[in-house]
Amino acid sequence: MLRILVLGAAAGGGFPQWNCNCGACRKARAGDADAVSSHQASVAVSRDGEHWFVLNAAPDLRQQINDTPALHPKHGLRGSPIAGVVVTNGDVDAVAGLLNLREGTPFSVYGHERVLRVLRDNSIFNVLDRELVPRRELPLGRAVPLLLADGKPSGLTIEAFAVPGKVALYLEDPAKKGYGSEPGDTVGLHIREDESGDSFFFISSCAHMTPDIAARLQGASLVFFDGTLWADDEMIKAGMGSKTGARMGHMSMSGSEGTIAAFRDLNVARKVFVHINNSNPALLSDSPERRELEAQGWEVGVAGMEITVPDTGVRVAATAGRAHAAGGHARATGGRAEARIGITVRQTRR
């Protein structure tokens, strides 16, 4: 069985975003139960509940660990249940959190060579001693074992695959095609438990659906997917920026080319949006857009959400990163209950 904990579901900048005064961010700051504050997108996965792998190192990772008892050290004076961190691209919201994991505890960093090169080119990441924190390359399209901190197999394997995307913002080269983007700059992940074959996908950035990705996802038990925007031009219309979703490397939830439409025939059992921008109205649990995506069988990720594969029911706990982030909201489809929850309420249904 796989246990997956959502550590955050917001896009780069988080929710609320430090410099954003939009209605949604104001609501989040005010503690509105329909606008739950969220760290940047990341999930942790374990098969035994003792050793965990974190997918994407959000800048919020120190706080995400603080908020997640499963990730607190349990044994000895120093140590961590975190055996590895997998980074899916070189953007700040996927790699900056590595800087929180200094202080001499061993684990592994997994990433595609294009992203590992970014870490190599930025000396600040040398704060993680390479002797203690080896960097392990994820080739495209080949499953590799995830290792425990002592180098032994964890019983999980991971396969990275190229998804349409974009090189990290700070590495864009306007003179080059696709701003210098190459395959491997953005990857999707398929995590599988060797013994049972249980698996799920984590794709926090994806510019458009391809036949290859569709074939991979067909019939999946669980997919976390890029939920940056509701509509491609929503940031422009809101006056928040000049870029479309497509320009930023993200497909939108809605529309004929959108994610909801693209998943309609994929027969995925559980579909959870992560990497949701503060401009996306579906972030608000009382919005028509939220109702629409839920009616289409989608969920919106929230910190503290716990999902198992195989699915044993709903398990949600909103861990409040801030004292006034007092409400969480989850709606599960397919006969599961609708839960509206406070700081530590936990609902389990089998």
Minimum distance, C-beta of residue 211 to its own copies, in the bound complex (Å): 33
2, 6, 7, 20: which one binds its own copies (CB under 8 A): 20
Stretch that binds its own copies, among 115-123, 150-158, 281-289, 328-336 (CB under 8 A): 115-123
Give the 3-state secondary structure of residue 347: strand
User: Alpha-carbon distance 108 to 134, whole Å?
Assistant: 5
H/E stretch holding 207 reads none
48, 50, 113, 121: which one binds its own copies (CB under 8 A): 121
> Do β-strands 222-226 and 270-274 pair in parallel, antiparallel, or remain unpaired?
parallel
CB distance 281 to 25 below 8 Å: no
- For position 100 contacting its own copies by CB under 8 A, the verdict is yes
- For position 174 contacting its own copies by CB under 8 A, the verdict is no
Interface residues for its own copies in 30-89 (CB under 8 A)? 37, 59-63, 65-67, 71-80
User: Alpha-carbon distance 13 to 277, whole Å?
Assistant: 8
Stretch that binds its own copies, among 17-25, 218-226, 244-252, 306-314 (CB under 8 A): 17-25
Minimum distance, C-beta of residue 208 to its own copies, in the bound complex (Å): 24
Cβ contacts of 123 within 8 Å, gap of 6 or more: none
321, 327, 330, 331: which one binds its own copies (CB under 8 A): 321
> Do β-strands 108-111 and 135-137 pair in parallel, antiparallel, or remain unpaired?
parallel
Minimum distance, C-beta of residue 50 to its own copies, in the bound complex (Å): 14
Give the 3-state secondary structure of residue 269: coil
- For position 239 contacting its own copies by CB under 8 A, the verdict is yes
User: Alpha-carbon distance 275 to 167, whole Å?
Assistant: 17
Minimum distance, C-beta of residue 48 to its own copies, in the bound complex (Å): 19
Could you please report the per-residue DSSP string of 302-313? -TTEEEEES--S
Exposure of 212 in the CB half-sphere (CA atoms within 13 A):
11
Nearer to its own copies, 113 or 212 (CB): 113
- For position 144 contacting its own copies by CB under 8 A, the verdict is no
Minimum distance, C-beta of residue 144 to its own copies, in the bound complex (Å): 25
Exposure of 247 in the CB half-sphere (CA atoms within 13 A):
10
Nearer to its own copies, 126 or 218 (CB): 126
- For position 256 contacting its own copies by CB under 8 A, the verdict is no
User: Alpha-carbon distance 250 to 228, whole Å?
Assistant: 7
- For position 181 contacting its own copies by CB under 8 A, the verdict is no
Enumerate binding residues for its own copies (CB under 8 A). Answer: 12-14, 16-22, 25, 29, 37, 59-63, 65-67, 71-80, 92, 95-96, 99-105, 118, 121-127, 168-171, 238-241, 319-323, 343-344
